[in-house]
């Protein structure tokens, strides 16, 4: 069973059609990176997967469940999906440990002891065991994003969605977050990643999807997309991103 299947997904905001017929299938264990220019619909596509945005048309299946069906229990589906946003969205008044345990206890019904044990294990996965008692304001941006990843993992998701998770970070902090994501990929986690980090997409992803103007302009293995793109628009985008000082204005 495919992890995610999008069929003919469209999304409009008023007269602005952001997604114009997206067909995309992601298999369990795949790491799919979505790249493309700003305004191409990347984040909207991601948010349609767990119905943070409701598609105007088309269907979205997650683990075989049609989340666009009005009778779908979307909360039950969301419990199977971890999502990490551009901003960290941590509760500032709660410690790191409490940020990781609150949803476990209230949504999954775990005991305090069990939730703390899961939180401890996931903080270790992201290299922040010593920060359990700290508060978000005491952490760097990279550490806060790693806590956000650990929080998502503490819900035992079947797949992870990442919406430009390094875009709000200083350049020297990007690597520590990408290292955690690389580790998840190595563990076989199914991941759909919207990113501007081309090196990560090239080295870690199973497949790269180039989105432009609300449509999938090209997709394929990273070696093909970065080494020999078939579409002129893909090649132009990559040249602008990878060689910014050599682009004619």
Q: Is 30:184 a contact under the CB 8 Å cutoff?
A: no
Which residues does 203 contact at the CB level (< 8 Å), separation at least 6?
182, 222
* Percent of the chain topping pLDDT 90: 89
Q: Is 215:207 a contact under the CB 8 Å cutoff?
A: no
pLDDT at 17: 96
In this structure, the dihedral spanned by the alpha carbons of residues 111, 101, 31 and 35, taken in order and rounded to 10 degrees, is 150
Question: Token pair 């905001």 is at which residue?
Answer: 13
End-to-end CA distance of the chain: 46
Positions of the chain with pLDDT lower than 50, given as ranges: none
Q: Is 209:222 a contact under the CB 8 Å cutoff?
A: no
Which residues does 150 contact at the CB level (< 8 Å), separation at least 6?
100, 119, 122, 123, 125, 126, 128
pLDDT at 243: 82
CA distance 160 to 201: 15
Q: Is 94:78 a contact under the CB 8 Å cutoff?
A: no
**Three-state helix/strand/coil letters over the chain:** CCCEEEEEEEEEECCEEEEEEEEEEECCCCEEEEECCCCCCHHHHHHHHCCCCCCCEEEEEECCEECCCCCCCHHHHHCCEEEECCCCCCCCCCCHHHHHHHHHHHHCCCCHHHHHHHHHHHHHHCCCHHHCCCCHHHCCHHHHHHHHHHHHHCCCCCEEEEECCCCCCCHHHHHHHHHHHHHHHHHCCEEEEECCCHHHHHHHCCEEEEEECCEEEEEECHHHHHHCCCCHHHHHHHHHHHCHHHCCC
pLDDT at 248: 67
pTM greater than 0.75 (yes/no): yes
pLDDT at 247: 60
Q: Which two tokens stand for residue 212?
A: 């432009």
Q: Is 143:62 a contact under the CB 8 Å cutoff?
A: no
pLDDT at 167: 87
pLDDT in tens, 43-94: 999 999 999 999 999 999 999 999 999 999 999 999 999 999 888 889 999 9
Q: Which two tokens stand for residue 108?
A: 């999954």
Which residues does 212 contact at the CB level (< 8 Å), separation at least 6?
36, 37, 40, 233, 234, 237
Q: Which two tokens stand for residue 231?
A: 């579409």
């Amino acid at each position: 069973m495919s992890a995610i299947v999008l069929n003919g997904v469209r999304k409009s905001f008023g007269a602005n059609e952001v997604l114009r017929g997206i067909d995309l299938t992601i298999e369990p264990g795949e790491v799919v990176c979505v790249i493309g220019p700003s305004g191409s619909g990347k984040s909207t596509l991601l948010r349609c997967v767990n119905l943070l945005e409701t598609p105007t048309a088309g269907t979205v299946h997650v683990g075989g469940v049609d989340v666009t069906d009005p009778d779908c229990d979307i909360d039950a589906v969301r419990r199977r999906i971890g999502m990490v946003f551009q901003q960290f969205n941590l509760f500032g008044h709660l410690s790191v440990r409490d940020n990781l345990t609150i949803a476990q206890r209230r949504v999954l019904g775990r005991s305090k002891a069990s939730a703390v044990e899961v939180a401890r294990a996931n903080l270790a996965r992201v290299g922040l065991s010593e920060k359990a008692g700290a508060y978000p304001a005491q952490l760097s941006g990279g550490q806060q994003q790693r806590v956000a990843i650990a929080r998502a993992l503490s819900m035992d998701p079947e797949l992870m969605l990442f919406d430009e998770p390094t875009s709000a970070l200083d350049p020297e902090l990007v690597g520590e977050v990408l290292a955690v994501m690389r580790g998840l990929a190595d563990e076989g986690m199914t991941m759909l990643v919207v990113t501007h980090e081309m090196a990560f997409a090239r080295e870690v992803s199973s497949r790269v999807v180039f989105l432009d103007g609300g449509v999938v302009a090209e997709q394929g293995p990273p070696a093909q997309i970065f080494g020999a793109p078939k579409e002129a628009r893909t090649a132009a985008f990559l040249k602008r991103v990878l060689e910014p000082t050599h682009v004619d204005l």
